[in-house]
Structure 1
Amino acid sequence: MSGSRIPMGVFALVALSLAMAGSVSAADVAELGKSLTPIGAERAGNAEGTIPEWTGGDVKPVKGWQPGDVRVDPYAGDAKLFSIDASNVDQYADKLSAGQVAIIKRYDGYRMDIYPSRRSCGYSQQIYKATRANVGVARLSEKGGILDGSGGFLFPLPENGLQAMANYRTAFTGKYTNLKVNMAVSQTGGSYFVNTGIIHTYAPFYEADAREVDGQYMTKFVYKQTAPAASVGSIIMTLQPYDNSNESWVYIPGLRRVKKAPTANYDTPVPGQDDLRTFDQTYMFNGLPDRYDWKLVGKKEMYIPYNASRFRAKDVGIADIIKDKYPNRDLARYELHRVWVVEATVKPGWRNTFSKRVFYLDEDSWTPVVADLYDTKGNLWRFQENHLFMASEIPACVSAVDFYHDLNADRYVADNIVIGSGNANYVADDVVSNDFFTPDSMRRYGRR
């Protein structure tokens, strides 16, 4: 990987412009919580009435539901409006991404079932208050790292692509979480293999005194594998600094040692996934954004995966989700929403497996729900979808499952699959603590 060839004087100008606090007007800021939602989405619906007004989101749980219960679909009674498939995809292409169009045309039987739009995403008043406080205060470095701002969305009124992606990189999905997740890798012919493990996360970024709690790292992640048998006990820990590349360590049971993993970053292929996904594809995009130029293209209406509780419903197992060539279409729900379009192109002098990525961020959560990835010749290569649902106990919109398609290999990875009750704890304050996320703690955890 070569260093940048951009002259240092240009770097200084870029650094200065990015480090400056946002130049949004007082009038724009005044609209937060009025014509705009508290995190910067348009409160009103569209003129046609096909996108409704935002009225606060589903911040209260479905009646009778308790944390730990299997998910209940609050919109199970909605009737499907229509489907988009190979017979009519060109008619709807202006509200689809290039990857959505390509996958529909590539695979017989692939369809997107369209349902009424439900703007379910909402957050706590604490998040809204912190988001407003970040306006004019949050700053980014020339690398896209976080210099100032915490506790909420950094840039509810973004002026560029880096700011829009910073909103996602710090999006609230719970301060502490414990999840038992499955990752399935499809095989040619319809079979698949599964890796299962326990994920623990902690986000010091969302502490009231974030920089005092931990001034170096904004999020922390530990994954301990529990299946298959050959990999049981393997652990990876990743810490995300405010203004540097991710730092990772691995615990290898056979050696009973913790080792630094400097290559667990950027476009290095994730082990055990047959080169179908890179580290910086994980969670749609992961790590420091310093290898790309980021352009905020604008907003558009688009059919996107949404309100995906079906993937976590009772009696839905991995075999119900993973099918040959693409996931079960009967479980996927799509709705018309507004998205921010952000285009990332590799900076001159740098390299990445993907020369360009186009992300589509849901306006009500700042989460990429669709991404199109292009190879070094400019050809569409990979396609990603993130199926969101509202976890009212946090409250926040989180991923029910995310899919990573390789359109050349005709295979895909399905990640973040949670099966059964009690396996998704998004409010796990009493389970792990800050000192859990250290190499020494990792070694002890591996020997249990």
Structure 2
Amino acid sequence: MNKHLFSAAMLGGLLSFASEIALARLSAEEIARLGQDLTPTGAEKSGNASGSIPAWRGGLATPPAGFDASKGYLDPFAGEKPLFTVSKANMAQYRDQLSPGYRALLERYPTYHLNVYPSHRTAALPATEYTQIAREAAQVDLANDGNGLVNYEKTSVPFPIPKSGIEAIYNHLVRYRAGGYLYYPTEMVVQANGSFTPVRREVKAVMASAMGNPEPNRLFYYLGKVTSPESVAGGQTLIHEPLDQTRESRLAWVYNPGQRRVLRAPEVSYDSPVSTSDGLRTNDMIDLFSGAPDKYDWKLVGKREMLVPYNTYKLADRSLKYGDIVQANHLNQDLVRYEPHRVWVVEATLKPGERHIYAKRVFYLDEDSWGILAADLYDGRGELWRVQEAHSLQRYDVLSAIHVSEVAYDLQARRYVVYGLENEEKLTRFGIRATLKDFSPAALRRSGR
């Protein structure tokens, strides 16, 4: 009897998964909604009932008056004042709009607060992206137990109307990032007393869809070099990121300046720590989530109205020094802007038999840009361990909502790490051109010399 019940349960699970795969492609009726009651990327075009979230009217598609690319991003909302501030004293009033992670930070640190501003739905993409999204929505499918994509060409939103958690996550993984860019992010591990040492990098990242000759099964190419401090300078990492990492695992190489050798680095994946993060960031925490999704079961919990970091132009101000931003326990919260927005909630639960330091992860994805804006990470005991947030802004000159920085707070260690700030660095260059030779192990070796 138990054997029959087990077989029935297995069959039910397989049928459920098969139906999820079958639902991946959108019907002609669903695709017709894009640009009508839904935005071209699949968000609800209308605002909410209370008016705290406005309707989407095309996003911020042109730079504001006075913008000078050589001076960084001009804040189009610089004159706005907070509508209200959420603190430990009044957090119960806003509980339904706060993730467990934000509630934990408000409880733990008396100086932590969220300044909430008017909501602006600024996300916008080039018109060619909207056309590609609608075209490929009729053909893209999940593959290999949901761990890859088939019939995928270069759309930045393969599943504009997601029907499963993994579909929403793929929208995050392949979202539009202006083809590629050269940038100079810093990483700072902040101790309990507020002390930190900036680790500086030069990074070139290019989406495979923006290259003329990508290899099959490729999502992006990455080459990062640590430039300071001297104790870690010269170390480099090269990554060829597959679309399906169960069919082909991440290809990674490192250059060790001490040995002057290029070595394969299969450990640069999953929950292995980023070498310069002092154990506070794992490789799949980069971009709040990246890499292979196969260790988790992904559940689409639904859509919620929440307070999330958004339009954080103030944090990108190039007149700021890192000492103005980085403080003990948390960032200078007066530089972080929060707004009410609708987000997709996706819950990732570790599969039976799999190993990872995070037994559960809950992600909050912006309905307009598909970028993950916040995440709550739980340990094996089910306790909230780390809280992530991404500081998003619309890059109105290249029409892409690329994060200006991301932070991970460790509630147990009472430390945090912030990555991506460029206030004291060179400006990012978008739309760079690259070939496979630029991302070869030989190029890594030459760069090391």
Q: Is TM more than 0.5 here?
A: yes
Give the aligned partner of residue 447 of structure 2: 445
User: Does the CA-based 8 Å contact 2:86-2:113 persist in structure 1?
Assistant: yes
Determine whether 1:346 maps to 2:346.
no
Closer, same or farther: CA 206–41 of 1 in aligned 2, 3 Å: farther
> Offset at 1:438?
0.8
Task: List gaps (5 residues or longer) in structure 2.
Answer: 1-6
Determine whether 1:109 maps to 2:111.
yes
Give the aligned partner of residue 72 of structure 2: 70
User: Does the CA-based 8 Å contact 2:27-2:138 persist in structure 1?
Assistant: no
Matches of 1:18 and 1:263, distance apart in 2 = 31
Provide the secondary structure at the position in 1 that maps to 2:394. Answer: strand
Summarize the alignment of residues 4-403 of structure 1 with structure 2, pairs less than 5 Å apart: 16-17=18-19, 19-20=21-22, 22=24, 24-141=26-143, 142-152=145-155, 153-206=157-210, 213-244=214-245, 245-403=249-407
Provide the secondary structure at the position in 1 that maps to 2:133. Answer: helix
> Offset at 1:238?
1.4
Closer, same or farther: CA 10–230 of 1 in aligned 2, 3 Å: farther
Matches of 2:418 and 2:195, distance apart in 1 = 13
> Offset at 1:21?
6.0
Superposition CA RMSD, Å: 2.0
Matches of 2:21 and 2:44, distance apart in 1 = 27
> Offset at 1:330?
1.1
Closer, same or farther: CA 240–9 of 1 in aligned 2, 3 Å: farther
Matches of 2:365 and 2:303, distance apart in 1 = 9
User: Does the CA-based 8 Å contact 1:219-1:241 persist in structure 2?
Assistant: yes
Give the aligned partner of residue 423 of structure 1: 427
> Offset at 1:216?
2.8
Provide the secondary structure at the position in 1 that maps to 2:335. Answer: coil
Structure 2 residue identity aligned to 1:281: M
Q: TM-score, normalised by structure 2?
A: 0.93
* Worse overlay, 271-280 or 301-310: 271-280
Closer, same or farther: CA 67–321 of 1 in aligned 2, 3 Å: same
Deviations 1:26-51 (CA, angstroms, capped at 9, x unpaired) = 32221100110000001111111111
Closer, same or farther: CA 421–63 of 1 in aligned 2, 3 Å: farther
Provide the secondary structure at the position in 1 that maps to 2:167. Answer: helix
Matches of 1:219 and 1:272, distance apart in 2 = 22
> Offset at 1:422?
4.2
Structure 2 residue identity aligned to 1:250: V
Give the aligned partner of residue 3 of structure 1: none
Provide the secondary structure at the position in 2 that maps to 1:230. Answer: coil
Deviations 1:210-259 (CA, angstroms, capped at 9, x unpaired) = xx643131101111111001222110011111211322110111222110
Closer, same or farther: CA 282–232 of 1 in aligned 2, 3 Å: same
Provide the secondary structure at the position in 2 that maps to 1:224. Answer: strand
Percent identity over the alignment is 36
Matches of 1:125 and 1:438, distance apart in 2 = 33
User: Does the CA-based 8 Å contact 2:146-2:166 persist in structure 1?
Assistant: no
Aligned length: 437
> Offset at 1:189?
1.1
Structure 2 residue identity aligned to 1:146: L
> Offset at 1:148?
2.2
Matches of 1:439 and 1:226, distance apart in 2 = 19
> Offset at 1:122?
0.5
Matches of 2:27 and 2:150, distance apart in 1 = 21
Give the aligned partner of residue 3 of structure 2: none
User: Does the CA-based 8 Å contact 1:370-1:386 persist in structure 2?
Assistant: yes
Matches of 1:149 and 1:382, distance apart in 2 = 34
Closer, same or farther: CA 18–241 of 1 in aligned 2, 3 Å: farther
* Worse overlay, 54-63 or 296-305: 54-63
Provide the secondary structure at the position in 1 that maps to 2:106. Answer: helix
Deviations 1:424-447 (CA, angstroms, capped at 9, x unpaired) = 112223xx4332011011111111
Provide the secondary structure at the position in 2 that maps to 1:352. Answer: coil
Matches of 2:26 and 2:226, distance apart in 1 = 46
Structure 2 residue identity aligned to 1:126: T
Q: TM-score, normalised by structure 1?
A: 0.93
Matches of 1:96 and 1:358, distance apart in 2 = 13
Matches of 1:204 and 1:283, distance apart in 2 = 17
Closer, same or farther: CA 214–18 of 1 in aligned 2, 3 Å: farther
User: Does the CA-based 8 Å contact 1:80-1:116 persist in structure 2?
Assistant: yes
User: Does the CA-based 8 Å contact 2:252-2:266 persist in structure 1?
Assistant: yes
Structure 2 residue identity aligned to 1:240: E
> Offset at 1:12?
7.1
Closer, same or farther: CA 423–145 of 1 in aligned 2, 3 Å: same
Matches of 2:356 and 2:423, distance apart in 1 = 34
Provide the secondary structure at the position in 1 that maps to 2:288. Answer: coil
Structure 2 residue identity aligned to 1:27: E
Matches of 2:12 and 2:414, distance apart in 1 = 42
Structure 2 residue identity aligned to 1:113: N
Provide the secondary structure at the position in 2 that maps to 1:390. Answer: coil
Task: List gaps (5 residues or longer) in structure 1.
Answer: 1-5
Matches of 1:238 and 1:213, distance apart in 2 = 13
Matches of 2:233 and 2:377, distance apart in 1 = 32
